[in-house]
Structure 1
Amino acid sequence: MDNSLLVSLSHQLAAYRSMDVIANNIANASTPGFKRESAKFEEYITYVRPSETQTGPQALSFVKDAGAVRDLGQGELNSTGATLDFAINGKGFFAVQTPAGIRYTRDGHFSLNQDGQLVTSDGYAVQGDGGAITITPDDGNVSVGADGTISSIINGAANQIAKLQVVTFPDERAMIKQGANLYSTTQAARPSTESTVAQRMLEGSNVKPVIEISHMVEVMRAYEMTATMTNSQEQLMRQAIDKLGSMPN
């Protein structure tokens, strides 16, 4: 394949990757605690051997996919009125137990399972400082302090049940997405000292749909421009081949 076509193809693939990331952002605009991402690319330069050109060595600039950059900006806190909805204001993640091990999330939409355990919407046990958190009917009304301490209020007296495990990591951008709004990491977790927990609230995503749609339009235009150039290059190649084929031997 012609080098110019390969370069154009790398640009088209980059645009396709950008569209995929933007579409995922838009799809999760209403997902609690979701953090938007943007595609990241790097320039990859290679050189054509002098024997393959008529003008000496030439540099070819390709676009290389370098992953996605996560925006860890705080989402807006929205009141839900639900006793077991919690939002983290600041840095940190809730810890949850999954079949694959401990995972982390910013989505604080919790409930109680049939055993009275505090769980995520997917049924994963939310972790406290002592492991899974159990709340029984005898605990009465439940309140949560800014430090994540869960207390039962019985006859006006507060009794501590557990404390939500809210943790942070040295490099939160290096955490790996695992689906279902969960993350994993090999970094050592440490208690978050830069956050508070709000009850009856959920953190919204930090996606701004209008901005994402604007980015999508820009990427579509870039893709169409590159596609037009690619088609023009292919047409020129076909014309050159036709002329060579029609030349007398």
Structure 2
Amino acid sequence: MSKGIHSAASAMQVHARRVEIIADNLANLSTTAFKRRTTSVGAFEHKLDPHKDHALRTTARQDFDQGVIVTNGEPYNLALDGKGFFAVEGKDGELYTRNGNFRLDEAGEIRTAENLLVAWESKSGSIDPAGAAVSIGRDGSVKQGSEPLGRLRVVDFDEPQRLHMVEGGYFRAPEELVPGPALAEVKQSALESSNSNAVREVIELVEAQRAFELASSVLSQHDQSYRRLTRQI
């Protein structure tokens, strides 16, 4: 395969991936605490064959910038103002999220929309669903009336980019990435909005689509030239 064809095909793959990621950002404009992904395009060498040309590849990164916090009247809706994650109990270990769209079940347990238990850092009592109003402090401390019940587990990571997104939009930490205390403040009766921005995403989508179309046109031109050349041989 000629270098031109290979480069154009590589560029098409890269920009198709960009379109896919940006489309996902757009689809999650209204998803609570959604974290958009950004892409960067760069060249890399074929290490096994130094005579080959450089190809393009795209690298996706999670953008953990905070979304806008919107208050509401739901006592178990929580938002984090600052860096950090709520810890929840996944089937295979602890998971992390900034989506505080929680609810209280009939047993007095705080759960996510996907029915996972929200983790506590410490717990000295249980919430009575029929009892007094529940207040949740900036440090995640929970009280029912005047009775302290414990503190929700809110953590942060030195290298959040190493977190892996899993089903449901949760994050899992590799074994060697240890969570530490978070500086974020818990906001009760509030939710964090998606950090995707429609205008920005549409602009980037158009750019990626145009780049894909240009690469496709270049590939077609190289292919036609290659076919003409082979017919002349």
Give the TM-score, by structure 1 length: 0.87
Go from structure 1 to structure 2 and tell me whether the alpha carbon gap of 1:233 and 1:179 turns closer, same or farther (over 3 Å shift).
same
Q: Matches of 1:70 and 1:239 in 2, distance apart?
A: 45
3-state secondary structure, aligned to 1:206: coil
One-letter code aligned to 1:180: G
1:143 aligns with 2:135: yes
Aligned counterpart in structure 2 of residue 83 of structure 1, from 75, 84, 106: 75
Please say if residues 25 and 36 of structure 1, whose CA atoms lie closer than 8 Å, have aligned partners that are also in contact.
Answer: yes
Q: Which residue of 2 aligns with 1:12?
A: 12
Go from structure 1 to structure 2 and tell me whether the alpha carbon gap of 1:42 and 1:124 turns closer, same or farther (over 3 Å shift).
same
Worse overlay, 86-95 or 28-37: 28-37
Please say if residues 33 and 98 of structure 2, whose CA atoms lie closer than 8 Å, have aligned partners that are also in contact.
Answer: yes
- Say which structure is richer in strand: 1
1:190 aligns with 2:180: yes
- Structure number with bigger Rg: 1
Output one character per residue of 1:86-117: Cα deviation in whole Å (capped at 9) or x when no partner.
Answer: 00000110000011211000000001223221
Output one character per residue of 1:206-236: Cα deviation in whole Å (capped at 9) or x when no partner.
Answer: 1101100100000000110110111011111
Q: Which residue of 1 aligns with 2:85?
A: 93
Worse overlay, 127-136 or 234-243: 127-136
Q: Which residue of 2 aligns with 1:63?
A: 56
Task: State the Cα distance separating 1:179 from its structure 2 match.
Answer: 2.4
Q: Which residue of 2 aligns with 1:122?
A: 114
Task: State the Cα distance separating 1:132 from its structure 2 match.
Answer: 11
Output one character per residue of 1:9-35: Cα deviation in whole Å (capped at 9) or x when no partner.
Answer: 111100011111111111111111111
Stretches of structure 1 that go unaligned for 5 or more consecutive residues are: 50-56, 245-249
One-letter code aligned to 1:188: V
Worse overlay, 129-138 or 218-227: 129-138
Please say if residues 106 and 129 of structure 2, whose CA atoms lie closer than 8 Å, have aligned partners that are also in contact.
Answer: no
Please say if residues 118 and 134 of structure 1, whose CA atoms lie closer than 8 Å, have aligned partners that are also in contact.
Answer: no
Q: Matches of 2:125 and 2:184 in 1, distance apart?
A: 20
Q: Which residue of 2 aligns with 1:37?
A: 37
Output one character per residue of 1:110-129: Cα deviation in whole Å (capped at 9) or x when no partner.
Answer: 01223221000000000111
Q: Matches of 2:125 and 2:22 in 1, distance apart?
A: 36
C-alpha RMSD over aligned residues: 2.1
Q: Matches of 2:120 and 2:126 in 1, distance apart?
A: 10
Aligned counterpart in structure 2 of residue 215 of structure 1, from 204, 212, 223: 204
1:112 aligns with 2:104: yes
Q: Which residue of 1 aligns with 2:144?
A: 152
Q: Matches of 2:18 and 2:142 in 1, distance apart?
A: 42
Please say if residues 118 and 133 of structure 1, whose CA atoms lie closer than 8 Å, have aligned partners that are also in contact.
Answer: no
Number of equivalences: 231
1:225 aligns with 2:214: yes
Q: Matches of 1:90 and 1:227 in 2, distance apart?
A: 43
1:171 aligns with 2:159: yes
3-state secondary structure, aligned to 2:76: coil
Please say if residues 134 and 144 of structure 2, whose CA atoms lie closer than 8 Å, have aligned partners that are also in contact.
Answer: yes
Stretches of structure 2 that go unaligned for 5 or more consecutive residues are: none
Q: Matches of 1:125 and 1:48 in 2, distance apart?
A: 48
Give the TM-score, by structure 2 length: 0.92
